[in-house]
Structures are given as C-alpha cells and as structure tokens.
C-alpha cells in the first residue's frame, strides 16, 4: 500500500435506520401483495422500492469508501471544557460528489462529542468538518478511531466505515474559580545591590548609598553628590521571580466514591491555582504523592513547565502510600526559600513535616481539603457528572 | 468573528423553502393521484386548495400554523370520516384508508413541523400512492407515478441533508450552555448548497431504481393470474363492450370514432396477407324492420377450448396471435372463419356461422390473448366440405336468396334495374359478378358519412338509404348490398368486425382501433364458399385522417394498449415464453458458435497444411487485426487522456504542484521498500520521523517536506515555484543519501 492511501474498504457496515425498518416492512408487504395478486403494477412498485434500497446501499458504500478522513485534535485538553477539533475529509474519487457525510469518534469512553458533518464534498476535494467534544474524566484519553458515515440518499440505511487512528490525549483536571487571592502580588525580594550588568529593564530604583570601592562611576548620582564629600551612587533592586510551591497531599488509605470525589476536587483546585499562577508569571513547582513515590517538579516558568505540572495533575493516581511527610522530605528545603507555598492537606492532626514547615516558612498557606469550598468554587454538578 | 453577510450555506441551515416547496408539490401529486384513480373531485380540489395556500405562504417566507391541539382534533375528525365511510357508506377499506391518509396529510400541513413531522408526511404521502397503486393499473397513473417517485426521491434526498444540518446545528454538549450559533456551525459543515450535485446523484439513483425495478418485474417468478384489483376501470368498460345481438338501422345522430386501440394482430411466420385485414366478429343473416339479427339455428354451439378440424390442410392456413381489449369480450375476432382457435384461461364457443365467443373466468384490465388459424381463400374441396360440416347446413340449401332477409318492393325494383344495367354492360351474370357490380355501384353512387339523418317514420332504413338519403356509414352500405344481392337471388349476409389497415411494417403487426369498426358483406357461392365484398367507399380512411393532435392521440392510445398488453398483461405464460425464447436463442447461438469454430478449425488446418487461405481463415485474421486495432485505439485514447489530464493539472497551480510534489510520497514509498516499518495506522509524519532515525536522514528536512505535503493536500495551500523547486531538490538530495 502506498504511503498516502488509507485502506479504503476495511469493513463498511450497514444498519437500517428507523425509517429504513418501516420502509423495509412496506417493501415486504408489497412483495407479499405482489405474489398474492400477481398484479404487474404492484410488481413495478415493489421493484421501485427494492431499487431505492439497492441505490441506498450502493451509493452510501461508494461515498463512504471513497472518502479519507484525518483527525486534527489538540494533545492537551481541559476536563469538562468543549474542545473544537477538525476532521479533514477528502473525496478521493475522480467522479461523484459525496453528500451528507458524518464523522464521529469510534466508541469514545469518558467523553461526549458532537459529530462533524459535511454536506457536500466534490470529487478530489477536501473539507474541514468542524466538531467538538468534552472530556469528562481527567487523565489519559485514548481516541481509537474515526468513523465516517452517511445515511444519504434516503435516510434508510446507515453506512459507516472505521478508520483506525489511535491517538492519546491528556485531559487536565477541570478549572473552577478561586474565591480568595492566594497569590499575593508584588512579593518581589529586594537586595541592596547595584544595577545588574545585564540590565534588561528588570532593575528598579531602590535608594542611594555612599560610593564604595569598585563601584562604577557611571552609577554615581551626580546631582545628589553635589553637596557631599563622598559621592553617592544609585542602589537598585532586582525583583525576585514569584515562585509558587504547590504541595498536595493525595494519599488516601482507601478509595471510595466520596474520597475519589474529594480528590478530584483537590486536583481541580490545584489545576485552577496553577493555571492562575502561570497566568500571573509565577514559576510554579509541584509536589505530590503517587504510588511510585513522591512527585516533585522543581519551579520553572513557561509553556513546558505548565504542561509538566498539569500533566502530573492529570495523571495523578490513587495514591495510598506516599503521605505529606514523605513529600516534604523529598523537597529540598532551600528550594522553597522566597517562594509562596500552598499546602493542601486532608485535615486532622498536623504532621511532623508540617510543623517543621510552619516554623520555617512565613509565606505559607495551608488549606484543609474538607474546607476547600471556602477558597474555591468547583465546577457545577452537571459539568462534573 | 468578523462582521459579514450571511452566506447561502448559513441560510440553508434555517431555510425551509428548499425542502417545503418540493415536499408540498409531492404531497399534492400524491393526493391528485389517488383522487384521479378513484375519480373523486372533492379530494383533488381540497388538496389543491390546501397545498396551494401552503405554497403561497412558504414562497412569501412566512409560517402559518395552528396549535397542535386543533390539528389533533382535525385528525380525530378524519378518523370519524374513515369509520363512517367503512361502516355506513360501505366503501372498500382501501379507498376509505386513502381518504383518511389524504385528510391527515392536509391537516398536518397546518401544524408547526419538526423533522419527525416531515418524516411522517413523506411516509403518509408514499402510503397514499401505494394505496392508489393497489387500485389502478392505468397508464396515466403509471406516468404520474413515475413523476411522483422522481419528486419523492428528490424530496427525501434534500430532507436527509436537512436532518444532518439540523442535527449539527442543534448539537449541544452537556457542558455547553447552548448550541453554537448557526453561522459558526455553517462554516463547519457546508460551503454552498449542492444543487447540481444533488441533481446528478438523483439521476444516478433513478438509473439504479429503474434497473432494479425492471429486473424485479421481469425476473420475479410469476405463478399465474391472481385476483382482480379493487377497482378496475377496464372491468367497468368491459360490462358494456362487445357486439350486440341486433343491429338497428335508421337512428339519427353522429357516430363518434375513438382512437382507442382495441386489438393487435400478429401473424406467425411470413403468412401475413397483404392489404387490409377484415377481422370478423359476428355475422347477421336475418333482416326485418330495419334491424339485423343472427339467423335461426346459430345458437347451436359447441363449447370447446380447442376446435380441431379433422382433415384440415396447412396449404393456405394462417395463424394469428391476437391481443384483444377485454371490453370486446365475449366476441373473438378472426380474419376469415377461424378453423382452429386456442385461448389462455378461458373457453371458446363457436356457432354454426363460425362466429366465436370467448368466455373468461374473470374480468381484468389485461388484454385477452388467443390464437386463431384460418384458411386463406381460395379454399380447396376438403376445406369447403369441412366448413359445410361445421355449419351443419347442406351447401345446396345455401344457394339462392336467403329466406331471412326481408327485401322491400322498392329494393327489389332497384335491384332489377341494376341487374338490367349490368347486363347492358357485361355478359357475365354469375353470383360473383352480380355482387361485384352492386359493390362497385354502391361505392360509386352513394356517399359515406358519419352524420346520419333519421329515417322517416314507417319507412325501411335501407330503403331510405337507397332512395332518399343516399348517404350513410358502412352498416348502411353493407345492408343495402346484402338486400340487393338477395333480391337478385344471390346469398349474402352482413358481417361486422374491424377493418385493420394500420400495419407496422417492421413487425408486421396490425393495430386495430375502435374507429376501425366496420361492416361488410359475405356472399356465398358453392365454388368459393363465403367471400368478402366491401361496398363502403374509401372515404372512411379520409375521415380518420387528422393533424398532429390526432396523431398524438393515436400514439397515446397505442401506448395505452401496449401498456396493458405488454406490462400489465405480463404473466407467467409470457415469462415462460420469454425464457423459452431466450433458451432457444442461447442454444441457437451455441450451435452457431460451435459450427463457426468447427469451420474455423478446418480453415486453419487447410491454411497450415496446404497453405490455402480460405474465407474462414481470412475472417479470423481480419478479426484478429480488428481486435488489435481496437486495443491500439483504446491505449492511444487512454494515453491521450492521461496527457490531457496532466496538461490541465499543470495549468492548475494547485494540481500542478500536487503532481510535482508526488515525489514526497514516492520517497516515503522508497523508504518503505528499503525496510522502513509499514504501519497502516501511522501518520506520514510519524513515518518520516521513523525514517529519519533509521536511515540517519535530516529530520528537519523530512518534516518540512511532510508538512508541505499536508498543507498542500489538506490545507488548500498553493505553493509557489520556489517552494516546489526547493522541495524537489530536497527530495533529490535525500534520495542520493539513501542510495549512498
């Protein structure tokens, strides 16, 4: 098989639609009447009805087998959020347009989809049929294949052909709304230091100080130095990058529906917070537990980091082993310096690691999973369901 | 989305005109079909008014509808009408059901329609037409049925597309607050309304439907005649058809002649006689009080399904196959007295005048078919003796004037006068010569007309014709001749039937219309038995002549008879006959092929052994040369078409680029041939990545090529010359690397 051709005729399936069943019943009745009465006019009508069925099969088969389809879908999507995707359908026949083509995902699990539709596809032409879907579960979603189908010309028969196009997409936990501002703005650290050599506009004026040995004469503030014996130089402050450390305690002794629901809500909160942090330019770090051990993603900014963090949240498993202490142990303490730390715990007695953390950190926010609704509005029940 | 005007594509999502106008016409046609079949004006008028109103509203882009409650009340009322018609008026259930379906359709036209309602309306209309098809088999119905089916196919195709569009427009995910706005949906599903593509697909579908219908019609095994249809208008006509026991002359009025085809006659073999064909139905021997009736003793009839003369000869026998309109029953028509007669599904009664009657078990619209064998004159002695035996009357008793013909005094005087005139002109005075003289004189001196004056009270109609009016139609001419002959002691009688003059030269088939009804004279002589004389002047043919309207009418009448004869009358016997003919044809073809092969073998043998090129070998060589020439032409044409396509492709920038950049796919194919894994579910991009890793090729170059291919193939990208040239060079470099 050549590289540019899909298998054309891998099992076209036909199924009678509801009007098709009615039509078939009428055809059978006409056949019985024709055999009973032997009237030629009834035979003619029977032939016409059979002809309509034959034409339906033949035309639908021809259209479905002569059409290629390619899926164009993003590889990361948000849970419970409509995703627009495109199906490139192409009529490879030299003659004969395809009409009324529908494109849908084959047996999609964990997603709801609105199928794509193409009214008219001339010969040798391509069309991007728009469709959309919403993933109902976070995690890895496997799209098996694409089904191209049609009920043209008479709506009596549904002809469909599956095109095997496996594709894995990662569904990030859905986003809700934060009620309180957990990310305080302007937490830049200042340092008494001269303007950095690289410049770049990140430095801000902090104050004046006396000239020291080694300072560049270019930093001298000449106007203020005019009445002094010792010249003064400008002292600049370099804003430290905003860093968010998000620590999630995902361990459960066992999982039932309620606990799973709580965990999902925690993950949606985390995703919401992370997304907000990235939107505000934070460097985001994530620490959470999994069956394989603690997962620690060191702070960084940018698109790649966003993917890493949200992918980790999307792929969070049902952790029963790694608790908060082990997570905190895995984080090197110094990494958390100058960072905003948000810890989401399961409540109860504070652990040893938490106590240490409370003592060491002042910009620490500890949230209780049971009281998460105080700071977070989750998606509606309908959306979650 | 930028501000813009709506495209037709977007409008088609909400526009109902495309579907509703043809749908309304289709419903109207269905109603009219049923009303025509049943001949009820009320439903035709009601359907026309309601559909017309709806059409007007749709054309103006408005929507008028009643609340569903009122529509349901109307449907209930229609149900009451159905019950009343069945139980009180005693209408057949099928007819009442048709009325019910029509009423429901008309009610539903006034409700706000969803797609489900459209499905119901199409189904109701189709069911109405099927019900009409169970009632009627007429050709006009069949023609309208074809139109209806074409329209129904188109409506259903449009509706199928509309349903898809509606589904796309109404699709809403559970996480969405509302469906997408129609303009966004439109961009995703349609560019423009596919009017011409729909028409082409419709033509294709109709071709398939017609082929299947024809195949089903001819190939489904038939078992024999079934019960008659519910309402058969032919049956109604048949009740008043045929030739009566009496012919009454002297009534005033204009005779109207119809173009309706009532019979076709085809002679077996080459025995077709030249010239007009007298198809006799009845003969009348008794004339009194201006009316003709059959003679005494003619009711002594033997019922048989097959008469077989014991000593017939085939010397001058002709066999004809007759398809006759059932309205002519029970009379069977034959050219010359039928001595052998066979029919399908009925019995034959033949009286002593050799007039034949067919009685069938059932009336239907199918033509009656029978086969009649007659002897062409002159008859030999054995044939005359056989006929005499059948008549049960000695030949001697047939000599002289008939005792049953009442000849008036004035007619006798006229006959004597004409006989004297004849003797003044010629010496021969045989019966035949007398009859010939009277025939010619009537033709010459009397006028043919269909507009008959009334005979005066108390006067004999033939006397009035001979002495007073001197004009009339064939019955008057024939009656006058019979009376004049009998006045001169020449045995003559009146024969009634059809004079077939319309002959298809290609098939040798005579087509007989109602207007060909005719009366003539049979004169008896012992030497010739009964022979035919026709005293009616030739103006009859002129009266039948007419303009293009008449010709169209004749064509339509012929089509109607052919429809009933060939289509409606297609039954098990016809099917078996066709199968038999096909088998015979196949066997004949097989024999011919075997003979030809044998001859060819001999020719080849002679050619190889003796070097003698005879006619067979030359033919074979010619055939081979011809085949080679045809193949060569096919190859040249295909090659030229390919060249032409290529040239056109090169003219089109996109197609040209596609053609030139096929080298990218060829590169991937080459890589696969060199061991690259072949996975049908891998995308081209993934194959390229795999190839780059396996063959140590520059991945970025490969990806760039694949990307160009995708953009060209799927994205509608039209690359410029530089881009194409660069891609070609890249492919060439990559090939070199692979080869190295």
Mind telling me how many Å the CA of B145 is from chain A's nearest CA?
9
Mind telling me how many Å the CA of B214 is from chain A's nearest CA?
7
Task: Please state the rounded mean pLDDT for residues B530-538.
Answer: 86
Question: What pLDDT is stored for residue A18 in this prediction?
Answer: 92
Q: Cα(first)–Cα(last) distance of chain B, in Å?
A: 53
Task: Please state the rounded mean pLDDT for residues B518-541.
Answer: 81
Of chain A residues 142-161, which have a CB less than 8 A from chain B?
Answer: 151-155
* Residue of B12, B120, B134, B164 for testing the chain A interface, max A β-carbons within 10 Å: B164
Task: Please state the rounded mean pLDDT for residues B704-731.
Answer: 83
Question: What pLDDT is stored for residue B354 in this prediction?
Answer: 64
Question: Angle B567-B571-B577 (CA atoms, 0-180°, nearest 5)?
Answer: 100
Most confident of A93-107, A171-185, A348-362: A93-107
> Does the pLDDT value for residue B672 go beyond 90?
no
Residues A204 and A319 grouped into a single domain: no
- In a 3-state reduction of DSSP, which class is residue A369? helix
Question: What pLDDT is stored for residue B176 in this prediction?
Answer: 85
Question: Do the Cβ atoms of A120 and B223 come within 8 Å?
Answer: no
Please check whether residue B402 is in contact with residue B285, taking contact to mean a CB–CB distance below 8 angstroms: yes
pLDDT in tens, B492-508: 889 988 888 888 777 77
Task: Please state the rounded mean pLDDT for residues B536-556.
Answer: 73
Residue of A nearest to B134 (CA): A42
Residue of B nearest to A164 (CA): B681
* Residue of B132, B206, B714 for testing the chain A interface, max A β-carbons within 10 Å: B714
Verify cis geometry, omega within 30 degrees of 0, for the bond prior to B378: yes
Say how far apart CA A212 and CA A231 lie, in whole Å.
9
Q: How many CB atoms lie within 10 A of CB B431?
A: 22
Looking up tokens 């290609």 gives: B506
For the sheet containing B368-375, what is the strand order?
B338-343, B368-375, B317-324, B261-267, B509-513, B502-504
> Does the pLDDT value for residue B633 go beyond 80?
yes
Token pair in block for residue B487 = 């006045």
Question: What pLDDT is stored for residue B213 in this prediction?
Answer: 94
Q: Is A222 exposed, middle or buried (0-12, 13-18, 19+ CB in 10 A)?
A: exposed
Please check whether residue B477 is in contact with residue B536, taking contact to mean a CB–CB distance below 8 angstroms: yes
Question: What pLDDT is stored for residue B270 in this prediction?
Answer: 67
Does a structural domain hold residue A6? no
Of B142, B156, B197, the CB nearest to A99: B197
Q: Cα(first)–Cα(last) distance of chain A, in Å?
A: 44
> Can you tell me the ipTM of this complex?
0.80
Question: What pLDDT is stored for residue B12 in this prediction?
Answer: 64
Looking up tokens 């066999």 gives: B319
Element (H, E) at B123: helix B115-135
CATH number, residue A49: 2.60.40.10
> Does the pLDDT value for residue B639 go beyond 80?
yes
> Does the pLDDT value for residue A351 go beyond 60?
yes
In this prediction, what percent of chain B has a pLDDT beyond 90?
17
Question: What pLDDT is stored for residue B263 in this prediction?
Answer: 87
pTM over 0.80: no
Of A2, A34, A38, the CB nearest to B571: A38
Question: Do the Cβ atoms of B157 and A152 come within 8 Å?
Answer: yes
Collect all residues with Cβ–Cβ distance below 8 Å to B369 and sequence separation of at least 6: B321, B322, B323, B324, B343, B344, B569
CB pairs under 8 A between A and B: 222
Average pLDDT, chain B: 81
* Residue of B94, B128, B213 for testing the chain A interface, max A β-carbons within 10 Å: B213
Of A38, A55, A114, the CB nearest to B222: A38
Cα separations (Å) of A338 from A150, A246, A358, B437, B560?
Answer: 61, 14, 14, 142, 101
Say how far apart CA B106 and CA B97 lie, in whole Å.
14
> Quick one: DSSP state of residue A195?
P
Token pair in block for residue A209 = 């100080």
Cα separations (Å) of A77 from A64, A81, A173, A371, B227?
Answer: 30, 8, 9, 28, 69
Answer positive or negative: Cα dihedral of A58, A62, A63, A64. Answer: positive
> Which residues from A are below 8 Å from B187, CB to CB?
130
Say how far apart CA B1 and CA B427 lie, in whole Å.
112
Q: Residue A135's beta-bridge partner residues?
A: A79, A111
Question: What pLDDT is stored for residue A58 in this prediction?
Answer: 94
Residues A121 and A212 grouped into a single domain: no
Does a structural domain hold residue A45? yes
Of A19, A118, A165, the CB nearest to B189: A118
Query: In this predicted model, which residue has the larger pLDDT, B390 or B163?
Result: B163
Say how far apart CA B404 and CA B493 lie, in whole Å.
10
Question: Do the Cβ atoms of A34 and B569 come within 8 Å?
Answer: no
Residue of B nearest to A113 (CA): B173
Question: Do the Cβ atoms of B213 and A54 come within 8 Å?
Answer: no
Residue of A nearest to B713 (CA): A126
Question: What pLDDT is stored for residue B242 in this prediction?
Answer: 55
Residues A137 and A229 grouped into a single domain: no
> Does the pLDDT value for residue A237 go beyond 60?
yes
Task: Please state the rounded mean pLDDT for residues A225-244.
Answer: 78
DSSP conformation letters of A44-111: HHHHHHHHHHHHHHHHHHHHHHTEEEEEE--SEEEBTS-EEEEEEEEE--SS--EEEEEEEESS-SSE
Residues A303 and A318 grouped into a single domain: yes
Please check whether residue A185 is in contact with residue A280, taking contact to mean a CB–CB distance below 8 angstroms: yes
> Does the pLDDT value for residue B236 go beyond 50?
no
> Does the pLDDT value for residue B272 go beyond 80?
no
> Does the pLDDT value for residue B307 go beyond 60?
no
Question: Do the Cβ atoms of A97 and B684 come within 8 Å?
Answer: no
Question: What pLDDT is stored for residue B145 in this prediction?
Answer: 92
> Does the pLDDT value for residue B433 go beyond 50?
yes
Residue of A nearest to B189 (CA): A118
Residues A264 and A344 grouped into a single domain: yes
Query: In this predicted model, which residue has the larger pLDDT, B478 or A382?
Result: B478
Q: Which of B514, B482, B509 is nearest to B498 (CA)?
A: B514
Domain with A195, as residue range(s), is 190-239
Percent of chain A as helix, strand, coil, to the nearest 5: 30, 35, 35
Of chain A residues 14-33, which have a CB less than 8 A from chain B?
Answer: 19, 22, 26, 30, 33
> Does the pLDDT value for residue B655 go beyond 60?
yes
Question: Do the Cβ atoms of B197 and A22 come within 8 Å?
Answer: no
Q: Which of B399, B375, B397 is nearest to B387 (CA)?
A: B375
Question: Do the Cβ atoms of B201 and A59 come within 8 Å?
Answer: yes
Cα separations (Å) of B430 from B184, B396, B436, B438?
Answer: 102, 16, 10, 12
> Which residues from B are below 8 Å from A26, CB to CB?
126-127, 130
Residues A152 and A49 grouped into a single domain: yes
Task: Please state the rounded mean pLDDT for residues B278-293.
Answer: 85
Question: Do the Cβ atoms of B160 and A154 come within 8 Å?
Answer: yes
Q: Is B224 exposed, middle or buried (0-12, 13-18, 19+ CB in 10 A)?
A: exposed
Of B161, B213, B568, the CB nearest to A119: B161
In this prediction, what percent of chain B has a pLDDT beyond 70?
85
Say how far apart CA B291 and CA B84 lie, in whole Å.
50
CATH number, residue A279: 3.40.50.410
Query: In this predicted model, which residue has the larger pLDDT, B128 or A363?
Result: B128
Q: Which of B112, B94, B153, B138 is nearest to B567 (CA)?
A: B138
Binned at pLDDT 50, 70 and 90, residue A280 comes out as confident
Q: How many CB atoms lie within 10 A of CB B622?
A: 10
Mind telling me how many Å the CA of A247 is from chain B's nearest CA?
30
Question: Do the Cβ atoms of B197 and A88 come within 8 Å?
Answer: no
The total number of structural domains in chain A stands at 3
> Does the pLDDT value for residue B533 go beyond 70?
yes
Binned at pLDDT 50, 70 and 90, residue B2 comes out as very low
- Contact A42/B at CB under 8 A: yes
> Does the pLDDT value for residue B565 go beyond 70?
yes
Question: What pLDDT is stored for residue B105 in this prediction?
Answer: 92
> Does the pLDDT value for residue B271 go beyond 80?
no
> Does the pLDDT value for residue A202 go beyond 70?
no
Binned at pLDDT 50, 70 and 90, residue B296 comes out as low
Residue of B nearest to A129 (CA): B188
Of B192, B217, B224, the CB nearest to A47: B217
Question: Do the Cβ atoms of A2 and B665 come within 8 Å?
Answer: yes
pLDDT in tens, A68-108: 998 888 889 999 899 888 898 989 888 889 999 999 988 67
Domain extent listing, chain B: 8-219, 239-567, 577-646, 652-739
Say how far apart CA B621 and CA B313 lie, in whole Å.
50
Collect all residues with Cβ–Cβ distance below 8 Å to B670 and sequence separation of at least 6: B735, B738
Residues A119 and A249 grouped into a single domain: no
Question: What pLDDT is stored for residue B346 in this prediction?
Answer: 65
Binned at pLDDT 50, 70 and 90, residue A224 comes out as confident
Length of chain A: 385
> Does the pLDDT value for residue B321 go beyond 90?
no
């Amino acid at each position: 098989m050549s590289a540019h051709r899909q298998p054309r005729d891998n099992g076209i399936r036909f199924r009678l639609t509801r009007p098709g069943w009615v039509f078939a019943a009428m055809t059978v009745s006409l056949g019985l009447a024709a055999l009973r009465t032997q009237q030629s006019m009834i035979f003619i009508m029977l032939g016409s009805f059979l002809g309509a069925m034959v034409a339906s099969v033949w035309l639908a088969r021809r259209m479905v087998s002569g059409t290629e389809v390619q899926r164009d879908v993003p590889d990361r999507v948000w849970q419970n959020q409509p995703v627009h995707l495109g199906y490139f359908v192409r009529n490879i026949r030299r003659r004969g347009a395809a009409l009324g083509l529908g494109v849908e995902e084959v047996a999609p699990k964990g997603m709801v989809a609105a199928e794509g539709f193409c009214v008219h596809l001339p010969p040798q032409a391509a069309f991007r049929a728009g469709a959309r879907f919403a993933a109902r579960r976070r995690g890895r979603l496997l799209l098996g294949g694409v089904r191209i189908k049609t009920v043209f010309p008479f709506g009596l028969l549904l002809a469909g052909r599956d095109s095997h196009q496996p594709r894995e997409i990662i569904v990030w936990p859905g986003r809700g709304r934060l009620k309180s501002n957990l990310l305080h703005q302007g937490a830049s650290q200042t340092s008494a230091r001269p303007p950095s050599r690289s410049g770049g506009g990140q430095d801000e004026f902090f104050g004046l100080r006396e000239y020291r040995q080694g300072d560049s004469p270019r930093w001298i503030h000449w106007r203020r130095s005019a009445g002094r014996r010792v010249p003064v130089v400008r002292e600049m402050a370099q804003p430290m990058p905003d860093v968010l450390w998000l620590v999630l305690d995902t361990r459960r002794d066992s999982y039932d529906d309620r606990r799973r629901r709580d965990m999902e809500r925690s993950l949606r909160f985390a995703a919401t917070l992370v997304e907000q942090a990235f939107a505000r330019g934070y460097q985001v770090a994530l620490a959470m537990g999994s069956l394989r051990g603690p997962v620690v993603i060191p702070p960084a900014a940018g698109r790649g980091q966003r993917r890493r963090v949200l992918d980790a949240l999307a792929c969070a498993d049902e952790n029963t082993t790694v608790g908060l202490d082990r997570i905190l142990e895995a984080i090197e303490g110094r990494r958390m310096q100058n960072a905003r730390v948000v810890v989401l715990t399961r409540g109860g007695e504070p652990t040893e690691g938490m106590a240490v953390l409370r003592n060491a950190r002042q910009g620490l926010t500890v949230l209780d999973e049971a009281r998460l609704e105080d700071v977070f509005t989750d998606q509606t029940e309908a959306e979650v369901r | 989305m930028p501000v813009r005007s709506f495209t037709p594509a977007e409008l088609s999502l909400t526009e109902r005109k495309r579907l509703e106008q043809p749908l309304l016409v289709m419903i109207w046609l269905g109603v009219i079909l049923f009303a025509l079949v049943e001949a009820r004006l009320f439903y035709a008028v009601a359907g026309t008014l309601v559909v017309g109103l709806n059409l007007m509203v749709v054309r103006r882009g408005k929507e008028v509808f009643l609340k569903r409650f009122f529509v349901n009340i109307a449907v209930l009322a229609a149900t009451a009408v159905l019950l009343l018609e069945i139980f009180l008026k005693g209408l057949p259930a099928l007819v009442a059901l048709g009325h019910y379906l029509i009423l429901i359709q008309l009610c539903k036209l006034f409700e706000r329609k969803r797609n489900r309602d459209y499905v119901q309306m199409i189904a109701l209309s189709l069911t109405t037409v099927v019900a009409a098809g169970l009632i009627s088999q007429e050709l006009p119905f069949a023609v309208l049925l074809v139109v209806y089916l074409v329209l129904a196919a188109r409506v259903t195709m449009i509706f199928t597309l509309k349903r898809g569009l509606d589904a796309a427009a109404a699709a809403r995910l559970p996480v969405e607050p509302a469906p997408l706005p129609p303009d966004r949906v439109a961009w995703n599903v349609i560019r423009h309304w596919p009017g011409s593509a729909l028409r082409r697909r419709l033509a294709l579908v109709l071709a398939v439907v017609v082929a299947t219908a024809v195949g089903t019609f001819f190939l489904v095994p038939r078992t024999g005649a079934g019960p008659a249809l519910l309402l058969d208008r032919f049956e109604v006509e048949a009740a008043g058809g045929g030739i009566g026991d009496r012919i009454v002359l002297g009534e005033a009025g204009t005779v109207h002649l119809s173009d309706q085809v009532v019979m076709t006659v085809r002679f077996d073999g080459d025995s077709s006689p030249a010239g007009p064909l007298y198809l006799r139905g009845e003969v009348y021997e008794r004339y009194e009080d201006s009316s003709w009736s059959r003679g005494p003793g003619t009711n002594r009839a033997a019922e048989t399904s097959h008469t077989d003369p014991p000593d017939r000869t085939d010397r001058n026998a002709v066999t004809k196959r007759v398809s006759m309109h059932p309205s002519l029953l029970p009379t069977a028509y034959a050219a010359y007295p039928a001595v052998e007669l066979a029919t399908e599904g009925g019995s034959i009664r033949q009286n002593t005048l050799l007039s034949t009657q067919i009685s069938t078990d059932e009336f239907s619209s199918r033509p009656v078919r029978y086969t009649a064998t007659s002897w062409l004159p002159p008859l030999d002695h054995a044939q005359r003796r056989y006929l005499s035996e059948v008549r049960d009357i000695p030949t001697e008793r047939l000599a002289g004037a008939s005792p049953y013909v009442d000849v008036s005094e004035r007619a006798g005087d006229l006959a004597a006068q004409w006989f004297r005139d004849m003797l003044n002109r010629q010496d021969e005075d045989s019966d035949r010569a007398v009859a010939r003289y009277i025939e010619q004189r009537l033709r010459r001196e009397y006028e043919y007309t269909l507009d008959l004056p009334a005979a005066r009270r108390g006067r004999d109609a033939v006397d009035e014709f001979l002495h007073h009016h001197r004009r009339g139609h064939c019955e008057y001419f024939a009656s006058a001749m019979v009376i004049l002959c009998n006045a001169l002691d020449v045995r003559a009688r009146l024969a009634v039937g059809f004079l077939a003059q319309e002959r298809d030269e290609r098939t040798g088939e005579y087509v007989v219309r109602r207007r060909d009804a005719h009366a003539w004279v049979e004169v008896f002589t012992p030497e010739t038995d009964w022979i035919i004389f026709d005293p009616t002047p030739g103006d009859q043919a002129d009266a039948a002549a007419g303009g293009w309207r008449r010709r169209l009418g004749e064509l339509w009448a012929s089509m109607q008879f052919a429809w009933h004869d060939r289509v409606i009358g297609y039954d098990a016997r016809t099917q078996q006959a066709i199968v038999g003919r096909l088998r015979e044809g196949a066997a004949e073809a097989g024999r011919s092929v075997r003979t030809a092969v044998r001859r060819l073998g001999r020719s080849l043998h002679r050619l190889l052994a003796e070097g003698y090129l005879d006619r067979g070998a030359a033919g074979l060589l010619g055939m081979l040369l011809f085949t080679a020439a045809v193949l060569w032409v096919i190859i040249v044409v295909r090659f030229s078409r390919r060249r032409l396509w290529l040239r056109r492709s090169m003219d089109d920038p996109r197609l040209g680029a596609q053609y030139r950049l096929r080298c990218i796919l060829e590169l991937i194919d080459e890589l696969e041939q060199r061991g690259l894994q072949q996975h049908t579910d891998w995308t081209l991009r993934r194959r390229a990545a795999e190839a780059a890793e396996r063959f140590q090729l520059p991945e970025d170059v490969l990806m760039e090529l694949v990307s160009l291919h995708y953009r060209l193939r799927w994205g509608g990208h039209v690359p410029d010359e530089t881009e194409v040239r660069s891609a070609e060079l890249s492919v060439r470099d990559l090939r070199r690397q692979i080869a190295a």
